[in-house]
Every structure is written in C-alpha cells, then in structure tokens.
Amino acid sequence: MLDSPQEKTLFSPLTLPNGQVIPNRIAKAAMEENMADARHLPGAALLGLYRQWGAGGVGMILTGNVMVAADAVTGPGGVVLDGKQPLEPFREWAKAGKAKGARMWMQINHPGRQVYAKTNPTAIAPSAVPVEMGKYSDMFTKPRAMTEADIARVIDQFATAAELAEKAGFDGVEIHAAHGYLLSQFLSPLTNRREDQWGGSLENRARIVIEIVRATRARASAGFGVGVKLNSADFQKGGFDAKDAAAVVQMLNHEAVDLVEISGGSYESPAMHGRPQQETKRASTRRREAYFLDFARDIVAVAAMPIMVTGGIRSRATAEDALAPEDGRAGVAMVGIAQALAYAPDLPNRWKRAEDVIDVPKVTWKSSLASLATMALTKRQLQRMGRGKTPTFKLWAPYVLVRDQLRTRRLNHSYRNWLQHRSTA
C-alpha cells in the first residue's frame, strides 16, 4: 500500500491492504508490562493503563507481549491467551483501548529460549543454544531443540491466539518475530542450527514465520489485521542482518500481511533500548531518536505493505521526518512510540497543539544490568498509570531495579503455582 507524499502527514489516516483504516500514523508500540492479574488475564491495572493510552491520541495501540503458550512466558505477570482462558477480560481490554477511536492490535509472542530460569526451568528453541550474557547467562533457562511436533504446536498456538483476539474485539494481531524471541531465533543462523526444512537457508529459517502468517490469516476475517514485527538486524556478528530482513519482507509480500514493524536487537544485544555508543556519537540528534529509520527506509523500497518503524522516537519533528522522503528513499507509513508514551501517554495530543519532546531516562551503567534497569524504570511508570496516577521522573534507578527484582520474584512464585494448578485442573 503506497502513500502519496501529498496525503501522508502524521495525523492523516492510513488504509491498510485489507481495507482497515488507522486514524493517524502514530502507534503505541509494544512494551512488556508484566501487569496481568493472578490468572494471567488483563485486569483492572491493564485496563486503567490502556484507557490512558486510548485517550492520548494514538491511531493504533499495540499491546505488550501476549503469550500464546501458558508454559512459555517472557516474564511473570504476563498476559496469556489460549483456549483455556476466558474471553471476557480480553473484551474489556479491547474496549478500554478503543474507547476514543484508536485501533487496538494484540502483539502475540513466544519467548523460545529467552525464558528466565526462575520463571520456568524448561524452554524450547530451534536449536539447543542458550542465551549468552556472560556472568548473567545462568539467569536464563537452557533450552532443548524443538521437535516437528513442537513446531506444529507453536504454529497452531499463534493462530489460536489470533482467532481468539478477533473474537474478543481486537482489530488485529502483530506476530512478534523480533528481539530474540522464538521466531527471531528461527530467523538467525546464530540460534538456528537445524539441518531440516526449518533451518539452513534463509527460506527455511523463515518458514515458520510464513506458516504462522498463513495459519493466522486462515482463521481470521478479511478485515482483521495481520502484522509482523521484524528485526532490522540482530546486531551480532554472523546473525540476522539487514539483507536478511529485506529478503524476509519480500517473502511476506506474497502473503496477506497488512503491516510490518521494523525494530532490532535481542536480550544479548539490546539495540531496542538505544544504539551502541560508537554509533550514537556519529549520529544526528534525530537519528539518535529513530534508531532503525535508515534500515526501515531500505525496507520500504522492497515492501508491498506499509512499514512502521519503532525505536526511540520522542519528538514530533523526528516522527515527521520518518514519514517524509529523504535522499531519494521513501518514508515509512507509521511511527511506533514506546518508552516516550510511558512518560507522556498523551504525547500525540500534545503534538497536535505544538512540538513536545520527552526526555526518557536512560541508565548508562557499564553493565548488562543497564538494560534491565531501563526497563524497570519504564515498567514503574506503567504501574503508576494502571493505578490512575501520572508518570514521574523522580525515580532512583538502583532502587527501582531492586524493587522490580523483588516484585518479579513474587510474581514468579505466583506464576509457577498458577501453571501447576492449570496443568492438573
């Protein structure tokens, strides 16, 4: 779906290939909240949070990770959607986000090997390649290689979650194939060392993504949106790179995909939280905001569907730049904003009135814990909004990180009890 430069502005609507209309070009990108209730359903906290975002002026809301498998979660306190979960809480969640006219899409995901050992001692992955984070590697479960039956089950789990999301009133789903989670693990030659039809060539490594798109579309109505979140690169030597990303998008051109979101990184190389220092020193201010914009422009050139870019956007000027042509390359169709909306949930409405830039706190420790602390600060804002409070910049990162770890310990215990009860019920 190509835009005319005369029509594409930040607050103009976007019509997707399936005919669905997004009111404007600003999306609330996914952030992991870990705010589900005790049954891993969207409860009062998530409804309160999404009401704020829904009233803030975005055209589309992408939920945080919704897990397609109850026994495979990115962290405790995450929402799970499968055939055993009641749909009414999801209907209320969709209503909360859509109350002021925004489209509400559910991001659906499977973590693969990126599972914390204290959350679940078992994990699956394309190959038995553990997460490597130096002295913090033991934080993660060592995975086993998936069987053909595992792969078939995961494809069905994604399609089931999408089918249930539509029944609950969501406008679409985004299949998460980025950030080092399971589908991203299949795409990367560093984590996919299989020698069967699911490994080896890029076509084989991308097969599971294509099969999930097809299975999802087969169970959804024509007007229901199907999107894919894809890494521009893993930012690891020998991993999934920009050429691979362009090739996968060209494969997706032949499928009924309505939107592709471009991001990047993984737990091992968390580029989604900011570019490596050596890159930011050479980048302009706006490039330091839009981490993946150059990659996204290259993808636009080969994509048949609209492209959205996410990663660090904080100002209206940067968002408008992303939509505009540059150096002979077309702009993207949508911009996704994540952390800035954790500190200013009404940022799009502010932009309608005038420029407003949100300085998102970044933890710059020379440690792998810096990324965890940055996420902990963001989650703290989401928790405040879930209780009807406003965000605050007056937080001390070490305290918030410790508090988040204690909260995670408590949620881990609750999750394991829930999972055990569920398996015996």
In this predicted model, what pLDDT tens digit does every residue of 47-81 receive, in sequence order? 999 999 999 999 999 999 999 999 999 989 999 99
Q: Report the alpha-carbon angle 88-92-97, nearest 5.
A: 150
* Residue 352: partners with Cβ closer than 8 Å, 6 or more residues away: 11, 57
pLDDT of residue 276: 39
Q: What is the mean pLDDT of residues 288-305?
A: 85
Q: What is the mean pLDDT of residues 148-155?
A: 98
pLDDT of residue 284: 43
How confident is the model over 121-131, as pLDDT tens digits?
999 999 999 99
Instruction: Please check the confidence at residue 208 and state whether its pLDDT lies above 60.
Output: yes
The single-letter code of the amino acid at 398 is P
Collapsed DSSP state (helix, strand, coil) of residue 371 = helix
Question: How high does pLDDT run on average in the chain?
Answer: 91
pLDDT of residue 2: 52
pLDDT category at 270 given cuts 50, 70, 90 is: low
Q: What would the two tokens of residue 75 be? A: 């962290």
Instruction: Please check the confidence at residue 274 and state whether its pLDDT lies above 80.
Output: no
Instruction: Please check the confidence at residue 266 and state whether its pLDDT lies above 80.
Output: no
Phi-psi region at 305: left, alpha or beta (left = phi > 0; alpha = psi -120 to 50): beta
What is the reported pTM? 0.93
Q: What would the two tokens of residue 73 be? A: 């979660």
- Return the higher-pLDDT residue of 3 and 364: 364
Least confident among 225-229, 246-250, 421-425: 421-425
Segment 351-357 long-range contacts (CB within 8 Å, at least 24 positions apart): 351/10, 351/26, 351/57, 351/316, 351/319, 352/11, 352/57, 355/315, 355/316, 355/317, 356/315, 356/316, 357/314, 357/315
Q: What is the mean pLDDT of residues 338-360?
A: 92
How confident is the model over 384-413, as pLDDT tens digits?
999 999 999 999 999 999 999 999 999 999
Give helix 369-386 / helix 44-54 axis angle, nearest 10°.
Answer: 90
Domains (ranges, CATH) in the chain? 14-361 (3.20.20.70)
Give the C-alpha separation, 180 to 23, whole Å.
31
pLDDT category at 289 given cuts 50, 70, 90 is: low
Q: What is the mean pLDDT of residues 180-201?
A: 97
Q: What is the mean pLDDT of residues 79-104?
A: 98
Percent of the chain with pLDDT over 90: 78
Least confident among 87-101, 206-220, 294-308, 359-373: 359-373
The enclosing H or E element of 90 equals helix 88-98
Q: What would the two tokens of residue 227 be? A: 């999107």
pLDDT of residue 176: 98
Which is it for strands 259-263 and 79-80: parallel, antiparallel or unpaired? unpaired
Give the C-alpha separation, 177 to 182, whole Å.
7
